[in-house]
A and B are shown apart, each in its own frame.
Chain A
Amino acid sequence: MSAAREERPQALSRLDRMERLSEAFYRYGLYIVLLALVVLFYALNSNFLSANNAVNLLLQTSSTGIAAAGLVFVMLTGGIDISISAVMFITAVISTVLTDMGLGLIGAIAVSIACGAVIGAVNGFFIAKLKMTPIIVTLAVMYSVRGLAIGFIGVKTLFFTNAVGAYLVKTRILGYIPLIVVILAVVMALCQILLSRTLLGKQMYAIGNNRSGAQKMGIAVEKRIFSAYVLCGALAGLAGLVSGAQVGQVSPAFAVGQEFIIISAAVLGGVSLFGGKGKAFPGAFLGVLIIMCIENGLVMARTNMYAYTIVRGCVIFVAVMLDSFHNKGETR
C-alpha cells in the first residue's frame, strides 16, 4: 500500500465546505435560527414574548408537531407520506360526528388513532409489500380519503363545538399547561424513545441508510416499513382530532396543503428526505416550532398575509438545499 492511502491532505472543495456548513447548521443552526427569529419578532412587537403568546405558539405547534413526529418514521425509511392532511380531515370529521353522538374524549382519541392507523396500513401495504412508489401511493390515498370523507358529510362545514371539543381545547393541566400541549409532549417523548432506544427504531435508521444491506442481514425490511406508515397514519389521525377541536369547524378544505408544511418542517428539523437521518425530538419539533414562529411573528408584526407563503417558501428551499448538501454521497 502506498503512503498516499494513509492521509488525504486535500484542499476542501466548495462542495465539501457546503457540507461542513450544513453539518454545523444541523448541530446548532436550528437553535440559532429560532433565537434570531425570537429576537426579530420581539423587536417588531414586544408582545411576542408574552407568556400568553408563548403558550399560543405551542398550541399552534401541536397538531402539526404530532403529525410531523409520525412522519419522521416514514422519512427515516426513505419514504414520504402526503396523505397526512386527508387523514387529519377524515378523523376530524369522524370524531366530530361521533362525539356529537356522545362518544367521550378517550373514545375519540382511540377512534382517531385507529382510523389513521388503518389508512397508514393501506399505504404501508402498497409501499412495503407491493414496492410501489411512496409518493404515488400516498397521493392516491390522499385523494381517495378526502373524497370519502366529503362523500360522507357532503359539501358542508361541521362544527366541532360539543363538550368533548371544548374539554380538549380548554383544559389546563395544573391550571396552566394546556392539555393539547401535554399530548404533544407525550407524543414527542414516546416517538423519540421508540426511535433512539428500541430495535424497531434502530432498524428504521438502518433501512433508510442501506436497504439491501438490511435485507441481507435478515432485518424484516417490509414489516418495518409497513409499521412506519401505520405509525405515521395513527399520529396523523390524532393530529386531525386535535386540529379539529382547535379550529372548531371542519370544512371540506380542512387541513388542505398541511402535508407540505409538515414535510418541510421535518426537513427543516434535520429529517433527511433521503432517509436514515433525523429525530422526532428535538429535530422535527424544532422544525415545526420555527415555521409556526415565523407565522405567528408575521401575524403579530401585521405583515401582508401573502408574506407568510413567500417566507415559508424560502425557508423550505433553504432546508431542502442544506439537506441535499448534507447527504452528498451517502445514499449510494
Chain B
Amino acid sequence: MAATNRDVVLKIDGLNKNFDGVRVLRDVGFSLRKGMVLGVVGENGAGKSTLLNVLGGVYQRTSGEIELFGEKYRPREPMDATRAGIAFIHQELNLFTNLTVAENIFVDEGIRGRMFLPPKLLDRKAKTILDALAIDLDPAARVEDLTMGMRQMVEIAKAVSKDAKIIFFDEPTTSLSTSEKETLFKLIRDFAAKGISMIYISHALDDVFMLCDEVLVIRDGETVGGQVRSGAITKDEAINRMVGRKIGQIYPYVEKTVGEVLLDVKGIVRSGVLDGVSIAVRSGEIVGLFGLMGAGRTELARAIYGVDPFDSGRIEFKGRAIADPDPMLWVREKVAFITENRRDEGLLLPKTVVDNISLVNLPHMRKRLAVLDRAGQSAAAAETVSKLRIKTGDANRQIVRNLSGGNQQKVVIGKWLLIRPDLFILDEPTRGVDVGSKFDIYTYINALAASGTGVLFISSEMEELVGVCDRIAVMCGGRIAGELERAQFSSEALLKLALEK
C-alpha cells in the first residue's frame, strides 16, 4: 500500500464488543484512509451494524483501540461522533417529517449568530448546501411529501453541512429506486474525490464491489481474510468467506410424513413490497423462508395472515379459497402466527404466564354465564409449561416481563399449543433466544410437524433453517428467488439465491 500513515483517518485495532457476556465483535481491526470507501459485508447478525454503532457512539466498546485522525477516540453518545466529524446515515432515517428540508438541516443547531430563522434565510442557506452537492431538492418542501430516496439525500446534506469527514452508510439502498440509487452512488464518488472517507454496509454485493475501494468481510463478529482491495476478490469468494465453515450445531431432525397441501399462496402482490409471491406448505412439512433484510419475508407472512393488506393474489387453505384473510378467521381455522416482534405483538408483558398461555384458547374456557374457568386455565397452562420446558415460578403468579427471552418466546409459542394448530407460521422464533431454549423450540416444532401440522418457518439464520426444514424458499426483492430441497441445502446456495438481483 502506497498510502502513508498520515492518510489514515480511522484506525481500529483489536475491537471487542460484548452484549450481556455474548461476544458480538471479536478482535476487529481495519483502517480507513482519506477519500476511501470501505465496504463491509456479512450475513444478517454478523456484527456489521454493531461495528458502526460502536464507532458512531450508539454503543460503547468493550475493549480495543480506536484512533481517529491520529488521536484516541472513545465516543460516549452519538453527539460525540458528530462533533468528531463522523456522520451516520442509519437504515431508518432520522428526520422530522413535519418540517421542511431546510428546517431539518438546521433544526439541531440553527444558524450561528442568528436569533431569528425566517424561512427565506433557511431556504437560502439550505439551497447553497444542496447545490454544492448537486442535489435537486426544494428546500421548502416538507419531508413527509418526499420519497425515501429524497429523504436520504436530506440526511446526507445535513451530514455534510456538519462538516463530516467520515460518513457511515448502513444499508442505504434498501428502500431506494434505481434512479435514486444512481444519484446516491454519484454522490458517494463525489465525496470520495473530495477526500471524505466512507464505510458502506450493504447486502447488495454488486453495489459494494462497484463502489468500494476495499472490502472487509465479517462473520460471527470476526473479520475474515482481512481488508482486501475490491478487485482482489470475487463475489463468490466473498460469499464463501461470509458463510465460512461452521461447526454444525446438532439439530433435532425427524422424519415426517408429508401429506396434502394445506396452504397454497399464489401470486401475492403488495405494491412496492411483494412482487407476485407463490408458496405452498403441506401438512407435516416444515418449509423454511429465507432472505436478507428487506427481502419481504415478514411482509409475506403478515399479508397471508391478514395483518397487512395486499393488492392481488390468491390464498387457499385446505383447498378452499380464503377471500379476505384476517387473524380471527385464521384462529378459527387453527392457523397460528408468531410475529417477529414478540414483546410488542405476541405477549401481554405485565400479565402472568397462565394468562398469556390461555389467551388464544379463552373462548373454550368458559363456564356458565361466560365466567372464566380459572382452574381449567391453570391446568391447561401447566401442561404447556412442562411440554415446552418453560422455566417459571408459579405460573399463576409469574409475570411474563420478568422471564428470560427464551422463556418468553416459549410462552408465545405455548399459547398456540392449546388449539393444536394445523398450520403454524413462525417469524424469527429463535431471535434473541439462548441455545438451550432454541433446542426446545426446534424439538417442539418437529413434534408438531410429526403430528401433521404444516410449518412455515421464517428465519435469517441459515444454519437453523438448514438444520430443521424439509424445504427452503428464498426471497429476494419481494419475490421468491428459488426453492431448495433438503438434498440441495447449503449456506452458499441459500446466500446466492438471496443475493440474486
Question: Does chain B have a CB within 8 A of A209?
Answer: yes
Q: Does any Cβ of B come within 8 Å of A284's Cβ?
A: no
| Beta-carbon contact of A202 and B99 below 8 Å | yes
**For window 1-38 of chain A, which residues contact chain B by CB distance below 8 Å?**
1-2, 4-10
* Size bin of chain B's contact surface: 20 to 34
For B98, the chain A residues whose CB sits under 8 A away are: 205-206, 208-209, 276-277, 330
User: Is the pair A6, B177 in contact by a Cβ cutoff of 8 Å?
Assistant: yes
Contact across chains for A219 and B95 when beta carbons are under 8 A apart = no
Q: Does chain A have a CB within 8 A of B452?
A: no
Asked if A218 lies at the interface with its beta carbon under 8 angstroms from chain B, I say: yes
Q: Check: B178 CB closer than 8 A to any chain A CB.
A: yes
Interface pair B478/A2, CB less than 8 Å apart:
yes
CA distance A203 to B96 in the complex (A): 10
Q: Please determine whether A5 and B117 come into contact, CB atoms closer than 8 angstroms.
A: no
Q: Is A198 a contact partner of B115 (Cβ separation < 8 A)?
A: yes
Contact of B107 among A6, A8, A206, A277 (CB under 8 A): A206
Query: Is A47 part of the binding interface, using a Cβ–Cβ cutoff of 8 Å?
Result: no
Say yes or no: B99 contacts A206, CB within 8 Å. yes
Interchain nearest-CB distance for A225 vs B (Å): 15
CB < 8 Å neighbour of B119 from A196, A203, A213, A216: A196
- A213 and B176 contact, CB distance less than 8 A: no
**B272–A4 contact, CB under 8 A?**
yes
B contact residues around A174 at 8 Å (CB): none
Is the pair B78, A199 in contact by a Cβ cutoff of 8 Å?
no
**Is A197 part of the contact surface with B, judged by Cβ < 8 Å?**
yes
B177 close to A5 (CB less than 8 A): yes
CB contacts under 8 Å to A, within B77-107, are 78-79, 82, 94-99, 103, 106-107
Residues in B with CB closer than 8 Å to A330 are 97-98, 144
Which chain B positions have C-beta within 8 A of A218?
Answer: 78-79, 82, 108-109
B110 to chain A, nearest CB (A): 4
B224 to chain A, nearest CB (A): 29
Of residues 154 to 212 in A, which have CB atoms within 8 Å of B's CB atoms?
193, 196-199, 202-203, 205-206, 208-210
Assembled-state Cα–Cα distance A250/B79 (Å): 51
B96 A2 Cβ-Cβ under 8 A: no
Contact B103 A202 (CB under 8 A): yes
Cα distance A203–B116 in the bound complex, in angstroms: 13
The answer to whether A305 has its CB under 8 Å from any CB of chain B is no
- Across the interface, name the chain A residue whose C-beta is closest to B110: A199
Q: Tell me whether B436 is interfacial, beta carbon within 8 Å.
A: no
B108 touches A219 (CB 8 A): yes
Given contacts A4-B478, A8-B272, A218-B78, contact A209 B99 (CB under 8 A): yes
Nearest CB on A from B141, distance (A): 16
Check A10–B271 contact: CB distance below 8 A: yes
In the complex where A218-B79, A330-B144 touch, is A2 in contact with B108 (Cβ < 8 A)?
A: no
CB distance from B142 to the nearest CB of A (A): 11
Cα of A46 to Cα of B379 in the assembled complex, Å: 75
User: Do the beta carbons of B275 and A213 come within 8 Å of each other?
Assistant: no
Q: Are A1 and B178 in contact (CB under 8 A)?
A: yes
Q: What chain A residues lie within 8 Å of B275 (beta carbons)?
A: 2, 4
Q: Does B256 contact A (CB under 8 A)?
A: no
CB proximity of B138 to chain A, nearest CB, Å:
18
10 contacts between A and B (CB under 8 A): A1-B477, A6-B177, A196-B119, A197-B117, A202-B117, A205-B98, A206-B96, A217-B94, A217-B107, A219-B108
Q: Which 7 A-B pairs have the closest CB atoms?
A: A199-B110, A218-B79, A209-B96, A206-B96, A209-B98, A276-B98, A213-B94
